[in-house]
Structures are given as C-alpha cells and as structure tokens.
Amino acid sequence: MKRLPDNPAAGILLVDKPQGLTSHDVVARTRKFVGTRKVGHAGTLDPMATGLLVLGINNATRLLTWIVGLDKEYTATIRLGAATNTDDADGELGQRADVAALAAATDEAIAAEVAALTGQILQRPSSVSAIKVDGKRAYTLARGGQELVLPARPVTILDFDVLAIRRSEWVDVDVRVQCTTGTYIRALARDLGAALAVGGHLTVLRRTRIGPFGVEDAAAIDDTMRSKLRAPAVVATELFGRIELSAEQARELGNGTRIPLQAVTPTARWAAATPEDGTPSSTPIAAVDPDGRLVGLIEVVAGRAHVLANFPRDLAGASPADLPDDATVTP
C-alpha cells in the first residue's frame, strides 16, 4: 500500500459540512483523505449547521487570511415562540409564548422587525460564540455555567429576506441572510423573537456562500476530495485579479527581490477582501509565473512589487494531478 506524497498539492477546497460534525471534525477527516497535516479553514460552523466550509491545504492556508473576511450568505429557519439559552435548537427552551402573543406576530409585524434588523446594526454575539473572553472561548465559559453578556459590535446585514412563514404551535420563519463577517445568525433569531415579544431561536442553518465560493461547488468528505482542490493561482485571481510575470521576474520575486512593476488596478469582484485581523491594507494582486503558478500576493508601491505573502514552489506548484491514482492514505 502506497503512502501519499509527503508534500501533496496545495490548494483551496470547498466542503459541504453535514449536520452533527464540528468544523474540527471536517479538518481532521480532510487531513486523512488529502494526506497532509497542514489544513486550515476560513470560519467555523456549529455542529447543528450545514453548508460551506472553505479549507486551505498546505501553503494555500495563507490565502485563508483574506477569505475569512469576505461576506457570507446563509439560509435559516427562525422559530418564534420561545428563546433558548444558546439561541439555537441545541439549548434549553425558555418560557413559551402564549397563543395571543404568537397571533400578534403577524406576517406584517415579522416583516417590519426583519427590516429593522437590516443594514448597519449593533449586534450582541451569542454567549456560546467562539469569541475569546480572558483567553477562553465564550462557549466554554457559558457551558461551564458562567453567565456572559458579550458587548455589542457593529455588523452589516446586507439582505435579510423572508422566504416563507409557517404557523402551527410555533411560527417558523424561513429566511435568507447576506451579511458581513462576524455576524451571528443565532443572534438575529434571538433579536427577532425579542422584538416581537415572543422569543426566538434558530432551528436550521446552512451557509451557502463565502465571497465568490458557493456550496453548490463544494465536495463531500470522502476520498475524492483531493481531486477537487482549486489551485492557489486560480483562487487568488478570482479574489484579486492577477499580473503575469516572466520566468526571471518570478524567480527574483520568489527570492525576495522587490522587482520593478507597473501599478495594476484590481478588477476582480472580490478585490476588497481584507486580512483576518481587519488591519487595513492595500488590495493584493496575484503574481503568477509563466506556468500558471502563484508566486505570491503583492502590492505595487512606487513602481516596485512588495510581497504580502509568498507561495514557495515545492507546494504551490503541485496540482491534484501530481497525486498517484492508486495512492491511499495510511492512518
């Protein structure tokens, strides 16, 4: 039985996470199927959620710094009639709203409060979020019995569309949300229920898009994953636009030389992506060699290329085709 190469391809992998798995579970399984320890992701999903995870393999993890800050899209179901202590269906139900209160939550009232939660808002994250408090994750403290009220922070809800309203003993509201990074859909469910004075929590959540990447193009978690890696140059071009280098320019840039280049204006739709830490920076450009390999992300300052992130040839130059067809992963 052959082992996978020590340095399999670098690339970006879109994965459709099933319900019940943590994002860490997905990363662990991907390591097994792709055959490398170096796997990262651009934003977690809760175990109850499904949908798109963007993973970076080997040196392509460096692209995740910019991908994680892109806008996101979700479909979800908000259940009106009671809040929970986790703002989702995994928590304990609070007091149920009475029939009269639920009847007062008319379609028109729901639409009005959804509109009020659209645009630039201040949102208080759920107490079971992954935000760190004194060095520990909020969800760890909350599940340990500590009461937390996290400070509100600004987010932008680009679109908040009601798709359907279904009434029984509950009022279930199917929605589609487009939002900036850092938005908590559970918090939207909680706040919609509170505004209608009936309580609310999330019962279904599916992430359908991160920036230009859609869940319809995502892979299942199995041994075909490695054939669906997207080359770093292709992804970086889609995000930022690209500049073609000569072989000599690529070699010099790879060696750290600030080579002379004409300024390039980014044209890609997603060129406004920012690093994970939110630090303002110039928009990168993908610098690509004659073989189509991503040499680095650069910015052009005073006629010279400054490298923001480099992608060494040993990993970024590989492709899924370089992996042997009969290779198998050994534990």
pLDDT of 1 > 90? The answer is: no
pTM: 0.85
Per-residue pLDDT of 131-167, as tens digits, reads: 666 566 666 655 655 566 677 899 999 999 999 999 9
Average pLDDT over residues 57-81: 94
What is the model's pLDDT at position 133?
A: 62
User: Among all residues, which ones are annotated catalytic?
Assistant: 46
Per-residue pLDDT of 230-245, as tens digits, reads: 999 999 999 988 899 9
Average pLDDT over residues 28-38: 90
Q: Which candidate, 45, 291, 305, places its Cα nearest to that of 186?
A: 45
pLDDT of 121 > 60? The answer is: yes
Residues 6+ apart with CB under 8 A from 112: none
Q: How confident is the model at residue 112 (pLDDT cuts 50, 70, 90)?
A: very high
What is the model's pLDDT at position 270?
A: 59
Using left for φ > 0, alpha for ψ between -120 and 50, and beta otherwise, residue 307 falls in beta
Per-residue pLDDT of 262-279, as tens digits, reads: 766 655 555 444 555 544
Range of weakest confidence among 118-122, 130-134, 177-181, 223-227:
130-134
CATH topology of domain 11-69+215-322: 2.30.130
Phi, psi of 151 (to 5 degrees): -65, 145
> CA neighbours within 13 Å on the CB side: how many for 139?
10
Domain at 72-210, CATH homologous superfamily: Pseudouridine synthase (3.30.2350.10)
The first and second tokens of residue 37, run together, are 């320890």
Helices (H), the chain: 23-34, 64-67, 99-104, 107-116, 138-143, 185-195, 232-240, 247-254, 313-316
Give residue limits of the domains in the chain: 11-69+215-322, 72-210
Place of tokens 């920036």: 211
What is the model's pLDDT at position 146?
A: 59
Q: How confident is the model at residue 205 (pLDDT cuts 50, 70, 90)?
A: very high
What is the model's pLDDT at position 301?
A: 86
